[in-house]
Amino acid sequence: MRTDFLWVEQYRPKTIDDCILPTSLKTLFSSFIKKGELTNLLLSGTPGIGKTTVAKAICEQLNCDWIMINGSEEGGIDVLRNKIKNFASTVSLSGGKKVVIIDEADYLNPQSTQPALRGFVEEFHANCRFILTCNFKNRIIEPLHSRFSNIEFKINPKDKPRLASKLFERAVFILKEQNIDYEEKVLAELIKKHFPDFRKLINELQRYSVSGSIDAGILVNISNENLKTLMTHIKGKEFGDMRKWVVNNLDNDPVRIFRSIYDNLYETLQPETIPHAVLILADYQYKSAFVADQEINFVACLTELMSQVKFK
């Protein structure tokens, strides 16, 4: 088994044909390749669904000179004035197009960096294209929306079985190449749990592969009894026990935990306090998409529930 690479990078698709996408999106991106032309693109959708992979694949297949900038780490105005301007203002040595990919562009400052980017898009339109990826397109200012072709990565329910099957095949290929034993039912459950976050699935497979096999022992579910234990800790204001519960259940998808608590509100809370609990859950579920430490965010959520709501 090779451990010197991140699987998500080692097995990242290099072409649009290899990407796991709905047919409509694959057809659209393939048309760019066939025509050899590229417009400014704004790729939006949930985390891990393939936006960055598609951006890189398009650039590679069109033989473009390209650079990647992470908007959450290099989102300052100085990056545009230096890194982007120096790249975009020069002509490609190969004679082709140059492309600036800005990953997580929704983290760019909407008061300074995004308006400046609008100017660069217009100034260097003759020889440079821009591809922005984002999870929340509403955080991109309207002047940029009007200058980009907005492509949303949405999966129609009727496409889900086919894409999940393709993802299963890809996961099997990776596990076999890495000589990792697996149980098909467990692998299917992991895909169901993380779909459509392909990146999360592959990262989890690599993490679990340390034990040498993907079997039923890795599946951690939030049972009703387990959830009742959590609610008992919150009701009794047992902060230490609540925190231990969070640590022991961090392998679960945060969205699934929030949903499980939400589904059990009527059984555990006084009716008049449920609306407030819903607002708390919605706030912290939203924050979970951005925070660096899920444990701190979830403990903060449960602490607020502990102090703000009334139990039966």
How far, in Å, CA of 58 to CA of 34, rounded? 11
Residue 129 host element (H or E): strand 128-134
d(CA 243, CA 249): 10
Give per-residue pLDDT as tens, 1-21: 444 588 999 999 999 999 999
Q: Which of 91-95, 154-158, 175-179, 307-311 has the lowest mean pLDDT?
A: 91-95
Name all domains of the chain by residue range, CATH numbers in brackets.
Answer: 23-153 (3.40.50.300), 157-218 (1.10.8.60), 224-308 (1.20.272)
Query: Of 88-102, 155-169, 192-206, 236-250, which one has max mean pLDDT?
Result: 155-169
pLDDT for the residue numbered 163? 94
Q: What would the pLDDT profile of 251-265 be if each residue is shown by its tens digit?
A: 667 777 888 889 888
Which pLDDT does position 218 carry in this prediction? 67
Q: pLDDT band at 129, cuts 50/70/90? A: very high
Q: What is the DSSP letter of 163?
A: H
23-37 mean pLDDT: 93
The mean per-residue pLDDT over the stretch 65-80 comes to 84
Q: Which residues contact 285 (CB under 8 A, 6 or more apart)?
A: 254, 255, 258
Mean pLDDT, range 31-59, rounded to an integer:
93
C-alpha torsion angle, residues 56, 58, 60, 62 (rounded to 10):
-150
The tokens for 131 are 């591809």
Confidence of residue 229 (pLDDT cuts 50, 70, 90): confident
For residue 92, pLDDT beyond 80: no
Region 134-140: mean pLDDT is 91
% of the chain surpassing 70 pLDDT: 94
- Cis-peptide into 196, omega within 30 deg: yes
pLDDT confidence of residue 210: 83
Among candidate residues 56, 57, 66, the one with its CA nearest the CA of residue 127: 66
Looking at residue 1, its pLDDT comes to 41
Q: Angle at which helices 184-194 and 160-177 pack, to 10 degrees?
A: 130
Q: What is the mean pLDDT of residues 61-80?
A: 85
For 297-306, what is the mean pLDDT?
93
Q: How does residue 221 score in pLDDT terms, banded at 50, 70 and 90?
A: low
pLDDT at residue 3, rounded to an integer: 47
pLDDT tens digits for 159-182?
A: 999 999 999 999 999 999 999 999
pTM (predicted TM-score): 0.74
- Sorting pLDDT into bands at 50, 70 and 90, what band is 224? low
**Cα(46)–Cα(56) distance, integer angstroms:** 18
pLDDT per residue over 231-280, tens digit each?
A: 899 999 999 999 998 887 776 677 778 888 898 888 889 999 999 999 99
Average pLDDT over residues 89-112: 85
**Is 107 within 8 Å of 142 (Cβ atoms)?**
no
Among residues 239, 243, 244, 245, the alpha carbon closest in space to that of 227 is found at: 245
Which residues share a beta bridge with 42? 132, 150
12: tokens are: 């990242």
Query: Mean pLDDT, to the nearest integer, of 286-298?
Result: 86
Task: Look at residue 112 and tell me whether its pLDDT is greater than 80.
Answer: yes
pLDDT at position 95, please? Answer: 64
